Structure 1
Amino acid sequence: MEKLLENKRLLIAGAGGLLGAHLVSKVIEQGGKVIAADINQKLMSERLESLGIDAQNEHLILESIDITDEKSVEELFIKYSDIDGAVNSTYPRNKTYGAHFFNVSLDSFNENISLHLGSAFIFTQQCAKYFKNKNTPFSLVNISSIYGVIAPKFEIYNETPMTMPVEYAAIKSAILHLNKYVVAYVNDSRFRINSVSPGGIFDHQPDAFLDAYKKNTHGAGMLDVKEVIGSILFLLSEQSKYVTGQNIIVDDGFSL
């Protein structure tokens, strides 16, 4: 039986992160060939190896990319002539990211918007240019969030030092409309952009937060990162051939 991504070459930016690394593994498992890219190639290689992915795998190429640097992104797309799709799972931010609302300075807010939304723009733009130049089908998946769709439930952060950063809400909601803008501009059914918006992904958050979060779901609580990946694979595959400009929410009912 043919695998979901048989012989597709897919670029995964942010492959050294929690979501990106697991995605590399699943794409290869589904018959795909991966260009895994991150700003720190050494740490990316270590993360992949910790998941049992051999850096010498014939279906894997490791690349360095600074998603916030226009030239770095352009050069990576120039280097390859057979990319069928891409996922941007990067999460660039500055050192003051995550401050509570009244403590966020304008300079810090603007810098985070530039780093994260700006890099999403340049990556999306280069995917569109790549499609125009190669004239072959291309599917891009950008990662948004439930907090790009609904207002934060601030009460779940009580009794923790955590908050839901205002920059994050602004960025993730903007990415959803950026997707629609670009696919409407390119106006070709062979070029698709969609998003997956995960609910909370477990990463050893405080117990008080985990308990409060779970009460807002249908029982699952925070998701294991692996539970988000199926939707991404679907959007990269031929199974979603005419799905474009859409957003799949994976959150066990948190946003209802």
Structure 2
Amino acid sequence: MKNHIKTLKIEELFSIKDKIVLITGGGGLGLKLAEAYAVNGAKVILTHSTVKKIAQTKEIMQKKGVSLDVIAMDQTKKEEVDETVAAIAEKYGHIDALINTAGIAPWGDTDDFDTKLLHDIMEVNVIGTVYVDEAVGRSMIAWQKEHSDFNGKIVNVGSMAGVVCHSYTSMPYQASKAAVHSLTRSFATCWAKYNINVNTLSPTWMMTPMLDGSEQEYYDAVNRVHAFGRMADVDEMVGAAIYLTSDASNYVTGHQLLVDGGFSCMKPLEY
């Protein structure tokens, strides 16, 4: 019988050293994951939607002594996504892992939205995710056909908002993340035969720049609905992401990994 796990040594089982990792979205979570993967030996390509953000990210990483590639890519434009992924595969030979963090999360009550907001959120969070998954998946399939021992890893970032609904998150955002969870399962069943694992990492609220300017009452309300009594630090998503992109998760696909500090066990947010 074939042994699908190559090692039982923890340092190798969870290793991301020398893996080619594409991370979309250079915001709070994407930036932290890019740093974590780079310092653990991965070859990281981080995408941003604007040239200005690319320059800022490069400066931040240089000050930390972190080496990675930062490139522009608008994930809502299919042709641009296809060309970018093809260029990355050509430069590095292949892509081992994709982590899709790019997305938008506008604030507002559940019923506080307009048609444009609905379309914008779906275009970035859902359609953009499909474009990137499809392009990277196609590249991984081509590589796997020539390298039978290859295991590709795709991690789409969902959200607890796509699992547990509450009034202080816009309905379009909640719906978009529920769609990400669903499309992840679809790709997982489709690509398992190519040794490609597709999973969702679903965080709870995190201390990121996205929350800048929020009222103290809001922070207090969010903290109360977590078993640990606080929202997450971005760093606390790193371990889950590494697990889902390492050999340790070779038999895990179509799964939604909740990293929520017990939020799903608590009462809904009241604010």
Asked if the contact 1:234–1:240 (Cα under 8 Å) also holds between the matched residues in 2, the reply is: yes
- Distance across 2 between alignment mates of 1:101 and 1:236: 34
CA change 1:131–1:187 in 2 (3 A) is: same
Question: How far off is 1:74 after superposition?
Answer: 0.3
Distance 1:23 1:48, change over 3 A: farther
Give the corresponding residue for 1:253: 262
Q: What are the equivalent positions in structure 2 for 1:11-50 lying under 5 Å apart?
A: 11-14=22-25, 16-50=26-60
> Aligned to 1:137, which of 151, 159, 176?
151
Bigger mean CA deviation after superposition, 70-79 or 3-12: 3-12
Match for residue 219 of structure 1?
228
How far is the alpha carbon of 1:53 from its aligned partner? 3.8
Asked if the contact 2:111/2:170 (under 8 Å) is kept, the reply is no
Equivalent-residue separation in structure 2 for 1:168 and 1:102 (angstroms):
11
- 2:83 corresponds, among 66, 69, 75, to 75
Q: From 144, 163, 166, give the equivalent of 1:149.
A: 163
The residue that corresponds to 2:268 in the other structure is: none
Per the alignment, residue 21 of structure 2 pairs with 10
Contact 1:86 1:139 in 2 (8 A): yes
Shift of 1:10: 0.3
1:187 aligns with 2:192: yes
Partner of 1:158: none
For the residues of structure 2 that align with 1:217 and 1:113, how far apart are their CA atoms? 28
| Unaligned stretches of 5+ residues in structure 1 | 155-162
Measured after TM superposition, the shift of residue 6 of structure 1 is 1.2
Counterpart of 2:131?
122
- Alpha-carbon distance in 1 for matches of 2:120, 2:199: 25
Is the 1:21–1:48 Cα contact (8 Å) retained in structure 2? no
Cα distance between partner residues in 2 of 1:247 and 1:121: 17
Q: Kindly, what percent of the aligned residue pairs are identical?
A: 23
Q: Which residue number corresponds to residue 157 of structure 1?
A: none
Contact 1:13 1:90 in 2 (8 A): yes
CA drift of 1:71 comes to 1.1
Q: 1:41 and 1:236 mapped to 2: Cα distance? A: 28
Q: Provide the C-alpha distance between the structure 1 equivalents of 2:111 and 2:256, rounded to a whole number of angstroms.
A: 31
Aligned residues: 240
Show CA shifts across 1:12-55 (max 9, x none): 111x2111111111001221110111112442342353354447
Provide the residue aligned with 1:84 in structure 2.
96
Aligned residue for 2:45, secondary structure, equals: strand
CA contact (8 A) 1:67 1:119 kept: yes
Question: Post-superposition shift, 1:110?
Answer: 2.7
For the 8 Å contact 2:228–2:262, the answer to whether it is kept is no
> What CA RMSD, in Å, does the superposition of the two structures yield over aligned residues?
2.0
| TM-score scaled by length of structure 1 | 0.86
Deviation of the 1:186 alpha carbon: 2.3
Aligned amino acid, residue 27 of structure 2: G
Instruction: Tell me the equivalent position of 2:70.
Output: 62
- Aligned position for 1:240: 249
2:172 aligns to what?
167
Give the aligned partner of residue 159 of structure 1. none
TM-aligned CA deviation for residue 220 of structure 1: 4.0
1:88: Cα distance to partner? 0.8
Counterpart secondary structure, 1:195? strand
Gaps of 5+ in 2: 1-10, 145-149, 266-271
Q: CA deviation at 1:92?
A: 4.1
**How far apart are the structure 1 equivalents of 2:202 and 2:181?**
9
Q: Which one is further off, 168-177 or 219-228?
A: 219-228
